[in-house]
Amino acid sequence: MTENLDTRRPDAPTLAGQYQPGEVEQRRYEQWVADGRFRASAHSDKPPFTIVIPPPNVTGSLHMGHALDHTVQDALVRRKRMQGFEALWLPGMDHAGIATQNVVERQLAAQGLSRHDLGREKFVERVWQWKAESGGSILGQMRRLGDSVDWDRERFTMDEGLSRAVLTMFKKLYDDGLIYRANRIINWCPRCLTALSDIEVEHSDDDGELVSIRYSDDVVVATTRAETMLGDTAVAVHPDDERYRHLIGTEVELPLTGRRIPIVGDAHVDPAFGTGMVKVTPAHDPNDFEIGQRHDLPALTIMDERGVITAPGPFEGLDRFEARPAIVAALRAEGRIVAEKRPYVHAVGHCSRCRTTVEPRLSLQWFVNTSPLAKAAGDAVRDGRVAIEPADLAKRYFAWVDNMHDWCISRQLWWGHRIPVWYGPNGEVVCVGPDEQPPTGEGWHQDEDVLDTWFSSGLWPFSTLGWPEQTAELAKFYPTSVLVTGYDILFFWVARMMMFGLYAMDGKQPFDVIALHGMVRDEHGKKMSKSFGNVVDPLDWIDRYGADATRFTLARGANPGGDVPVSEDWCQGSRNFCNKLWNATRFALLNGAHTAGPLPGAAELSTVDRWILSRLAQVTAEVDEQFEAYEFAKVCDLLYHFAWDDVCDWYVELSKPVLAAGGAAADTSRRVLGHVLDQLLRLLHPVIPFVTEELWTALTGGETVMTAAWPVADRARIDTGAEAEIATLQRVVTEVRRFRSDQGLRPTQRVAARLDGLAGAGVAAHEPLIRSLARLDAAGDDFQASATLAMPGEVSVALDTRGSIDIAAERARLTKDRAAAEKEAGQARAKLDNPAFVGKAPEHVVAKIRDRLAAAEADLTRIDAALEALPS
């Protein structure tokens, strides 16, 4: 690739012998930022394209999920810039209420302090100090990945503007009757001492125990949480269950307590599950709470906020997990344990921050009435205002928004947006907006809780653009164009943004498209986990292989909605791909390739030049089509094979003899090679920005590929005749190369050969190229064919390999190939001879089998001719 054919122009820039990402990436990124390449103007006349980054936690660092998400977003934004859009990619961070408070509390604990020692105001000051000194390290890591975000617009969910938006939204919802305070069952973390949202609860299959308890001769219930029986206030059966209908309305004594509780009939009970009887603990189970509401049952709280038993009696003061075996032992002593199943694997919720087992808990909290908001969010997708890619994930979205429960938005933390509600001495309740003064005077106090982090991030698509003010940014860039995120938070964050965006922005959706990708997994498809030991740090790959290689590896696996497997071997392959581009461009520069002046017309081009321009036109069109469908894996695969196979392995090699010969044909090849590389580097830039920037500026002399026009397929250059001609040339060269490799011939070893049938195949003019690429000399007077390669299109290559190959080994190879071809032909014939198959299979399937048979028969003809030509 790097040989010098002495045609280099005097002013050609030089490239190092190998691409070194560490010498390019930081320099290029800093120059982009200094030149303002990422800035977007609200006053531009260009059409807008907007992505607001899913805000990473201020406590977070770049992991593979982020790297995938950011690579996809950056590819979309960079392409749109090149297409002439005013492209805004808006960065920012989430204040991450629970996670951030935990970090600072751990620091205090190391000093022997708690947040209560500081008090609320001083603690919040301490968190802001931590944020200034240590938070947001992920922002620097985003720069290393190459994120082309508008850093001038960076936002934080606790900054002044976004805090104003939060207060405005709370007040609006409150005044419209969509926010209320009530005692409801919520997820509670006994370690973090706060309510949790559904997304902050991670479920896993844990070993537990299932015990069946006899309350009386007629009543047996089963439970995995025996300690909660202390709070039972009923036993429920299905009202139509013939076994127990006579018990409805009677009472049973609750063991260990002496309390009598009713037996109620409720349709929630599944008669086929267990005994068909369930214990009802309204204060400690969400389903039981609903049963309790329907039957006006009391709700007895028998644990405190730390999971310690508070019910009077022998178990008072025990932790919930200490109380469980103690209660089972007490029941066993009374002969009430009917059955025990241990271990009993069942789904258990854990706090995503500290892994503590979550406790369902009856608690006074603030809620959003989601019914009208969720309906609007569903309607926006159903009526086409918002598209979900891939479309088959829309059913998951509807399953969530159509069955959404009211949302608990209060958290028992100090770090976050404090709920703007004040309570008076006589039971007054006042919600205060951002431009209102809170009530003062003796006895007035503000609610102690803060809002769920997802409340502020639900406003992200419009609060970051200046809402509630009617800014130029909001007018220009809202609705945003596309949201790129993982399918795992479709139900939580995406749904909340949809609800709030439609509500606050008068029915205007927060984004036009929701593009969903899957989770990054290891090469075996296994979820990455520290416990599995398969977690990959993208920064490690960036250090060793470069940001481009890391990005290309992720994007090449990114199918819409599908999980993304990655491996270090694939990243090494992506680095090799970057080096391949580097070497090809270096070769082009050394040999005078350029982009000056228009391309010659088809009549002035060789078949090889017309072929590569035809391939470029087709690939450009396909890349555009796949980009619009969010098929990033297909985009990368198309460009990889076009670059590696068509450009580097074939066009560059086919050009070498032309360039060496000089003259007008060489000048044309230099221009075509320069054009093809120019367009290829533009097409690749969105995914691998650093190496393409370095190569494109060297090749073209332009300032930056970032603002170069995105390629448009020149369909007039599509030349099926040239493609067919070069395809035949490639088959001939490939078959000869395969034969040479099988025989162990050195790549540089030349072999005398006679080429027959080239004229009939339409490639007679390319005989010099075929001989050059396949290392074939002309047949002399002493030529004697020792092997003949027959190929489709009546082309045959007779080779004089006397003394060069092992005849017995070649015969064995061809015999093996013949057996495989005969087997393929036999299988195809069997299907085509089967009337049931031919009559029922779709026509395209039958046609494919016919093509397989024809190809196998052609292989048999070719192999038989080659065997016959071998010396005996």
* Spatial contact of 690 and 25, defined as CB atoms under 8 Å apart: yes
User: How many whole angstroms separate alpha carbon 796 and alpha carbon 703?
Assistant: 51
Tokens for 12?
A: 């050609």
User: How many whole angstroms separate alpha carbon 508 and alpha carbon 121?
Assistant: 38
Phi, psi of 262 (to 5 degrees): -80, 160
Tokens for 183?
A: 């005692």
Nearest alpha-carbon partner for 247 in 231, 224, 269, 228: 269
DSSP 524-558: TSPBP-TTTT----HHHHHHHH-HHHHHHHHHTT-
Alpha-carbon torsion (59, 62, 66, 70), positive or negative: positive
Residue 533: how many other CB atoms lie within 10 Å: 8
Q: Give how far the C-alpha of residue 661 lies from the chain's centroid of Cα atoms, to the nearest Å.
A: 49
User: How many whole angstroms separate alpha carbon 798 and alpha carbon 547?
Assistant: 49
Tokens for 747?
A: 């790549």
**CA quadruple 450, 452, 453, 458: dihedral, nearest 10:** -120
Exposed, middle or buried: residue 107 (CB in 10 Å: 0-12, 13-18, 19+)?
middle
Tokens for 527?
A: 């979820």
Half-sphere exposure of 779 (CA within 13 A, CB side): 13
User: How many whole angstroms separate alpha carbon 55 and alpha carbon 76?
Assistant: 18
User: How many whole angstroms separate alpha carbon 320 and alpha carbon 315?
Assistant: 9
617 vs 374, 582, 601, 683, 726, CA distance in Å? 45, 22, 15, 12, 16
Annotated binding site: 530
Residue 747: how many other CB atoms lie within 10 Å: 8
* Spatial contact of 108 and 117, defined as CB atoms under 8 Å apart: yes
| Vertex 367 angle, CA 191 and 461, to 5° | 95
Residue with tokens 């968190």: 127
Exposed, middle or buried: residue 426 (CB in 10 Å: 0-12, 13-18, 19+)?
exposed
User: How many whole angstroms separate alpha carbon 772 and alpha carbon 803?
Assistant: 22
DSSP 381-448: HHTTSSEEESGGGHHHHHHHHTTPPPEE-EES-SSS-B--EEE-TTS-EEE--TTSPPP-STT-EE-S
Annotated binding site for ATP: 530
Nearest alpha-carbon partner for 448 in 415, 404, 472, 474: 415
User: How many whole angstroms separate alpha carbon 216 and alpha carbon 379?
Assistant: 51
Alpha-carbon torsion (274, 279, 284, 285), positive or negative: positive
User: How many whole angstroms separate alpha carbon 650 and alpha carbon 612?
Assistant: 9
Residue count of the chain? 872
Q: Give the 3-state secondary structure of 48-75.
A: EEEEECCCCECCCCCCHHHHHHHHHHHH
Sorted by sequence, the CB contacts under 8 Å of residue 660 that are 6+ apart come out as 5, 666
- Which stretches within 591-701 are classed as H helix? 607-628, 632-641, 652-661, 664-684, 689-700
Residue type at 747 in one-letter notation: P
User: How many whole angstroms separate alpha carbon 502 and alpha carbon 370?
Assistant: 13
